[in-house]
Structure 1
Amino acid sequence: MAPGAMNRWTASLADARPLSFWLDDPDRPPVLPALTGTEQCDLLVVGGGYSGLWTALIAKERDPDRDVLLIEGREVGWAASGRNGGFCDASLTHGLDNGLSRWPREIGRLEELGARNLDAIEEAVARYGIDCAFERTGGIDVATEPYQVEELRTRHREAQRLGLDGGVEFLDEDEVRAVVRSPLFRAGLRDRHGVAMLNPAQLAWGLKAACLERGVRIHERTPALSLVPRGTGMGVRTPYGRVSARHVALGTNVFPSLVKRVRPYTVPVYDYALMTEPLTAGQRAAIGWHGREGLSDTANRFHYFRLTADDRILWGGYDAVYPYGGRVRAEHDDRPETYARLAEHFFRYFPALEGLRFSHAWGGAIDTCSRFSAFFGTAHRGRVAYAAGYTGLGVGATRFGAEVMLDLLSGEQTERTALEMVRSKPLPFPPEPFAWAGISLTKWSLARADENRGHRNPWLRTLDRLGLGFDS
C-alpha cells in the first residue's frame, strides 16, 4: 500500500464522533428514576435491551393483570440494542448453514418459527406505532472471491433441496452489480423476505414506550447486584433497594449472568462500525442500491453494510476483538486502528465514493457462544429463566428468546420448549489463559482460511467436529 493511500482513507475519519450514530439522537427519551426502597412483582425482568423489553411486553400481552417490573443498569437500549447495525433477520440460528449443521431434523421448523417471529416484530412495530424506520428490504450475501461464488451456489442448492428457498435467489456477477455497484462483487445470494432494516435505538425506545403503555413499571440506572431465593420466589438486590418477585427473566446477555453457572457459556467479542455522512444524489447514483437491501460479504472476517433512512451507509464488522479475561469495559468501545482498517476496506469496495466522510465511529461488546446462536434455560427450580448467546444476530431473535423464557417460566410444554435447540446447551468456554489462547488461534486460523480459498486448517476442522462451529 502506498504511504499516501492510508492518509487519504484515514482523512475520512477526521470528523467522526466516537459514539453510536443511533444513540446520538436529541429525541432520545428521558431516563426514568432508579428503584429505591422495597418492591414486589409477579415478574421481574433484568435488562433493558431487546431481550428484556420483549419479555416484559409479551408478558403483559399474555396476561394484562400480571405485575411486571423491569430494571436496567444504565439506560434502555444503551448497549448492543442501541449500537448494532439494524439488521433484523428472520434466522434464529445465525443463518441456514449453522442451523442445518446443528439441528438438521428441525431446521424446517426453526425456519418457520423465525419467519413467524419476524412477522410478529413487524406487526408489533405497526400496532404500537414504533417509529424505527422498519423496512422489509431483504438481504444479500455477497461473494468477493471466486471460491465464494461456488459456496453461494451450494448454499442455494441446499435451500432448494430442503424446500427452504422461497424468496431466495442466486445472483451472478452482472445481477448483483445491478443491485449494488462494487468492483469487488462476483455473485450474491438474495433473500427477498427474511431481512428487515431498522433504526435499532428507536426500536428499543419504542418498545420501552409500549411497555409503559401496557403497564410495565420500569426503573433505569438500577443494576441488579445479586439474585437469591426468597420464600417461594426470588429476591434481587439493587444499589438503593430490593425486589421480591415470583419469577425472574434475565436479559443481561453479554454482561455477567446473575446465575453464575451460565457465565462460562458466553464471552464478549467487540464489534466496530462506521457511519458515513448522507450520500448526495450523485453518490447514490454511482453505486445504485435502489432497493436498500442489507448486505454482508461471505468471508470469515466479514463486513456488513446497509443504507439508513437518510441515505447514509453503515459499514461494520471484520475485526472481532476478544479482551483477555473476557471483561466488558468501556475502554474497548473505541478502537481507532479498527476504524482506519474499516475505512480502507470501505473505499476498496466503493471507490466511486472516495471523498465521502464518516460522521460516527463506535464499537461495543456482543455476547458470543460456541454454537453461534442463542441458548436458554432455567435456574432456582424454574423460578428464573435466561436467554443469551445471540452472537450478533439478536435484533430479531431476542423476541423469540423472550417467548422461550416466558414459556419456561410458565412450566408448560410449547412448540418452542420442545425444540432441541431450546433443550440443549452450547459447549462452555474454558477458563483463562485457555480461552484467550483458543480464541486467538481460531481468529488466526479464520484469517488464514480467508487467504487460502476458504480451506480450513486442522484446528478449525477439530472445532467443527467438536460442534464449536466458528464459521463466521
Structure 2
Amino acid sequence: MTSRSLASLADAAPTVFWTDRADAPPVTDPVPDGASADLVIVGGGFTGLWAAIQAKQDDPGADVLLLEGRHAGYGASGRNGGFLSESLTHGLGHGKARWPTEFPRLIELGRRNLAEIAKTVADHGIEADLRLVGKTTFALAPHHLGELESLAALHTSLGDRVTLLDADAARADVCSPTYLGGLRIHESGGLVDPAALLYGLVRLADALGVRRFDGSPVAGLRRSGSALRLSVGTGTVHAGRVLVATNAFPSPLRRIRPYVLPVYDHVLVTEPLSDAQWSSIGWAERQGLTDNGNQFHYYRPTADGRILWGGYDAIYHFGGRVDASYEQRDATHQLLARQFFATFPQLEGVRFTHRWGGVIDSTSRFTPIFGTAHGGRVAYAVGYTGLGVASSRFGARVALDLLRGAPSELTELAMVRRRGVPFPPEPLRWPVVALTRHQMIRADENGGRRGAWLRLLDHFGVGFDS
C-alpha cells in the first residue's frame, strides 16, 4: 500500500454512501406482542418490500404485515453498487449452461421484470436516478478477449445491441492503461440509486396499507394448529401465511440455512470529481463498468459526480457469522484503493469519502433458491448472489405464487422447483470456501485455466461467488 493511496482513505467515513442522507423513512416501532395478519413477511429489504407491494396490488384487502429486524436499508438493499441487471441467472453464460431448455423463457422473464421495475418507478414518481444505460465489461488479461467475444455472440443472438472494443476503442471510451479490450452492452440493464429506490418502495408499501414494524427480528417460526407463530423480541406474532426474505441474515426457517453462504463485499466512494478529472477519464455515457476476472471490480458514477468502486475481495467468516464488525476491513479497503489508482492513475490525489462493507447471500448455484415449508404456508426466496437489486422483485413474485399453492408460469420453472446443492457444514465449509477462492485467484493468474478443483465444481454446477 503506497502512502499516497493510504492518504486517500484518511478521511473516508465508515458509512454507506447511499444511506448517508436525511430523507430516510422514519424508523417504526417494533411489532406489538400478539399481532396477527393474513400474510407476514420476514425481512424488509428489496425482496420483502416487493412482496408486500405485489401482495397488496394482487388483493388490496389483504392484511399484510412486514417485519424488519433493524430498519429500512440496513442490509444489502441499501449497501450495494446500484446495478440493475436483466439477468435472473447470474449472467447469460451461466443461465444457458444450467437451464438450456428454459433459457429463452428466463431471458424473457428477466426483461419483463426489469421493465416492471422501471414502470413502478415512473408510475409512482420514485426519484431513484434509474438509468437503463447498460454496462461495459473490460478485458484486463489476454484470455478475457476470447471470453468477451463469446459473450458478445450470445448477446447478439438474443437481440441485444453490443459493441466489441479493441484496446484503443476501450480506452477511448473510458481511459485506463489496464484495458486490453471490452464489450459495451448498450441497453441491457442499468444503474439506480438503491437507497432512493428502497425508500420509494417503503413509501409505496405504506400508501398501499402494508403494516411495517422495524426493530422486530424473527428468531423462530413454527406451526400452531392451522396458523403459524413467529417468535420476535416483543413476543409472538400470528400469521396465516409467511414469506421469508431474510437473505444473508440467519433465517427463522432453519432448513434453508445450509444453502446460503454469507460473504462480505466492500466498497469505496470518491469525493466528487472536477470537470477536468472527468475529462481525463472520458466515460461519456456514464454507464456501469466491470472487469472480467473471477475476482472482479464493479464501478459506476453517482448522480453528484463521484465514482463508486467495489468488489474483488469476497470474504467468508468461519461459521457463516454475520456481524456488523465485519463491515469495516482495512486490508480490503486499502487493496481497493490501490487497485483504483492502478486503474485510473490520472486520478492520483483523489480522496475517498465513504467506505463500507455488507453481507451478500450467495448460493452454490449463484442464483436464488425458492421453496415452501409447513404444508405450503411458508415460502421463501433467498440467495441472490450480488444481483438482487432487480431480481428481488422476481423472487418476491415467485414466493407469492408458491404461497397460493396453484401452479403458475413461474413455479413450474426448473430454477424454482430445484434448490441446488447445500454448502457443507462447518468445520468443513470454511476450508472448502478458502480452497475455492484460492483456486479462482490462481485461475485468473494462469490465463483463465481452471484447475482440477474448479473443473470438478463446474461439473456439478456448483461454486462460490459474490
- Runs of 4+ deviating beyond 3 Å: 469-472
Distance across 1 between alignment mates of 2:398 and 2:235: 29
Alignment of 1:334 with 2:352, yes or no, is no
Q: Give 1:471 shift.
A: 6.9
Which residue in the other structure is 1:156 paired with? 152
Indicate the residue corresponding to 2:23 in structure 1: 27
* DSSP 3-state at the match of 1:38: coil
Cα distance in structure 2, aligned partners of 1:189 and 1:308: 22
CA apart distance, 1:241: 3.1
2:90 and 2:281 map into 1 onto residues whose CA distance is 28
Partner of 1:90: 86
Deviation at 1:195, TM superposition (A): 1.4
Equivalent in the alignment of 1:181: 175
Give the corresponding residue for 1:226.
220
| Aligned equivalent of 1:432 | 426
Residue-by-residue CA offset, 1:81-112 (whole Å, 9 max, x unaligned): 01000001111011011111210111111111
Matches within 5 A, 1:4-403: 6-160=2-156, 163-403=157-397
The answer to whether the 8 Å contact 2:362/2:386 transfers is yes
Kept in 1, the 8 Å contact 2:314–2:465? The answer is no
Deviation of 1:255 (Å)? 1.0
Residue 87 of structure 1 contacts residue 395 of structure 1 at CA under 8 Å; is this kept in 2?
A: yes
Shift of 1:276: 0.3
Is the Cα–Cα contact under 8 Å of residues 156 and 165 in structure 1 kept in the other structure?
A: no
**Whole-Å Cα distance in 2 between the matches of residues 396 and 369 of structure 1?**
17
Cα distance in 1 for partners of 2:386, 2:300 equals 15
How far the C-alpha of 1:469 sits from its partner, in A, is: 3.9
Number of residues of Structure 1 aligned to a counterpart in Structure 2 = 466
Structure 1 residue identity aligned to 2:69: G
Deviation readout 1:391-450 (Å, 9 max, x if unpaired)? 111000000000000000011211111111111112001111211111000111011111
How big is the shift at 1:329? 0.8
Q: Aligned partners of 1:198 and 1:157: how far apart in 2?
A: 27
Can you list the C-alpha shifts for 1:62-91, whole angstroms capped at 9, x where unaligned?
111111000101001111001000001111
Separation in 1, partners of 2:273, 2:163: 29
Aligned equivalents of 1:57 and 1:209: distance in 2? 10
> In the alignment, which of 408, 411, 430 is matched to residue 414 of structure 1?
408
Identity of matched residues, %:
50
Amino acid at match of 1:91: S
TM-score for the superposition, normalised by structure 1: 0.97
Higher mean displacement: 358-367 or 36-45 = 36-45
Q: What are the Cα deviations for residues 125-183 of structure 1, in whole angstroms up to 9, with x where unaligned?
A: 111211211111211111111110111002222344xx314223322222222221111
Residues 33-73 of structure 1: per-residue CA shift (max 9 Å, x gap): 11112112111011010010000001001111111000101
Instruction: Give the counterpart letter for 1:457 in structure 2.
Output: G
Is residue 92–residue 154 contact of structure 2 (8 Å, CA) maintained in 1? no
Take 1:427 and 1:436, find their aligned partners in 2: how far apart are those partners?
16
Distance 1:471 1:42, change over 3 A: closer
Contact 1:49 1:81 in 2 (8 A): yes
Aligned to 1:447: 441
Greater CA deviation, 233-242 or 106-115? 233-242
Residues in 1 aligned to 2:393 and 2:93: alpha-carbon distance in whole angstroms = 21
Q: Retained in 1: the 8 A contact 2:299–2:308?
A: yes
CA shift in 2, pair 1:263/1:379, >3 Å: same
What TM-score does the superposition give when structure 2 sets the normalisation length?
0.98
Residue 166 of structure 1 aligns with an amino acid whose one-letter code is D
Q: Matches of 2:192 and 2:330 in 1, distance apart?
A: 26
Distance 1:186 1:254 in 2: 36
Is residue 91–residue 111 contact of structure 1 (8 Å, CA) maintained in 2? yes
- In 1, Cα distance between the equivalents of 2:238 and 2:403? 16
Q: Give the SS at the match of 2:319.
A: coil
How many Å separate the matches in 2 of 1:128 and 1:384? 30
Q: Which range is displaced more, 383-392 or 462-471?
A: 462-471
**CA distance in 2 between partners of 1:156 and 1:80 (Å):** 30
Distance 2:454 2:181 in 1: 26
Superimposed CA distance per residue, residues 245-299 of structure 1 (whole angstroms, 9 cap, x where no aligned partner): 1110011000111111111001111000000000100001110111111011010
Counterpart residue identity of residue 84, structure 2: C
Larger deviation: 57-66 or 174-183? 174-183
Matched, 1:467 2:466: no
CA contact (8 A) 2:160 2:188 kept: no
Distance in 1 (alpha carbons) for counterparts of 2:172 and 2:275: 17
* DSSP-derived class of the 1:105 partner: coil
Equivalent residues of 1:464, 1:470 under 8 A apart: no
CA shift for structure 1 position 466: 1.6
Q: Secondary structure at the match of 1:341?
A: helix
Please, which moves more after superposition, 232-241 or 88-97?
A: 232-241
Distance in 1 of aligned mates of 2:73 and 2:364: 25
Residue aligned with 1:225, SS: strand
Does structure 2 conserve the Cα–Cα contact (< 8 Å) formed by 1:378 and 1:386?
Answer: yes
